[in-house]
Amino acid sequence: MNQNKPIILLIYTGGTIGMIKNPVTASLEAFNFDHLLKNIPELKILDCEIQTISFNEPIDSSNMHPKYWVQMVEIIEQYYQNYDGFVILHGSDTMSYSASALSFMLENLQKPVIFTGSQLPIGDLRTDAKENLITSIQMASLRNGKDPMIKEVGLYFEYKLYRGNRTTKINADHFEAFESLNYPMLAESGVHLKVNKEYLFQPENKDLVVHKNFNTNVAIIKLFPGISEYSLSCFLNNPSIKGIILETYGAGNATTESWFVDLLVKAINSGVHMINVTQCSGGSVAMGQYATSETLRKIGLISGFDITTEAAITKLMFLLGKNFDSKEFKTNFETSLRGEMS
């Protein structure tokens, strides 16, 4: 290996980016990443060295689960000292969840971990896979002197690099599939790579700490006009549920009907951690701004501020895995751990 060049490890988990059309049958088949350079010769001219590793059984991202997040971080943990950056190839449908989860799992991360994927298979004539893959590798190779320029979990798609735990998939049909509505992009690919250095996460200069415990006894409840006491109580009276993301209206507002408030109070008093997150694509929860959210503040809901639902649910599972008491849990959730909230 040429130690003067960054060495990047590609981790293939599955997804559309890893598919190629069989010229005989016209069906989509898993791409053989052992022949990556042969199939994408443009990678040979990048100013870095590339190695690849793949899940033994690549998965569709619709089957994503915390056990696969653990599998990803164990690969990063095993090879952390050997590589300058990591690019994770992943299906787009649950990519924001995985990017959020890994941001919490990799504490004091000092190297780039960049998720990317595509809307069309890598073998398709009009594919977006090649550009996303090539530029993700370039982003992971950027240096500030001898140190990596990016030291966080990012998500690259359609010419833009975002903080992973700030992203949401907004479109199933367009190449521009992701958006970060509450935080500026970290970098943009045009004629030149433009990095917005002032927005990059600056971790503490400490050794990497890897976390692997998640508690999945959680739920997301999206409020809507007409939500019934019966349907809501099915979640709130379930003894297995330990945490709930409550997607409220606007800046954190909800109905003030007595049955609704009573159900929330009963759940909170039984030890359920309840997070107030706006169901709007952008913006922030501001409990107390309106009378309809002041009630939620008084009964003890935790504010998610401007966190995305994807980051909120993964942070909830992550913190539940820590077995914090109620006060510690609230403090940690309302604190930005990896730049996931403003």
Active site residues: 16
What pLDDT score was predicted for residue 3? 61
Q: Is the pLDDT of residue 221 over 70?
A: yes
Distance CA 27, CA 57 (A): 19
Query: Does some domain include residue 250?
Result: yes
Q: Which residue reads 């606007």 in tokens? A: 250
Report residue 284 as tokens. Answer: 């922030």
1 lies in a domain?
no
User: Residue 230 belongs to what domain range?
Assistant: 218-333
The answer to the question of residue 340 being in a domain is no
Helices 258-269 and 229-236: crossing angle, nearest 10°? 10
Cross-strand partners of 9:
51, 86
Q: Per the structure, how many domains does the chain have?
A: 2
- Dihedral (CA of 116, 121, 122, 126) sign: negative
Terminal C-alpha separation, the chain: 41
Q: Which pair of tokens denotes residue 285?
A: 């929860």
Strands annotated E in 24-145: 28-30, 49-54, 85-89, 106-107, 113-116, 143-144
> pLDDT, tens digit, for every residue of 70-79?
999 999 999 9
* 14 pLDDT tier (thresholds 50, 70, 90): confident
* Residue pLDDT, tens place only, 146-199: 899 999 999 999 899 999 999 999 888 777 789 999 999 999 998 889 999 999
Does some domain include residue 165? yes
DSSP 106: E
> Which CATH number is 111's domain given?
3.40.50.1170
Q: Are 217 and 238 in contact (CB under 8 A)?
A: no
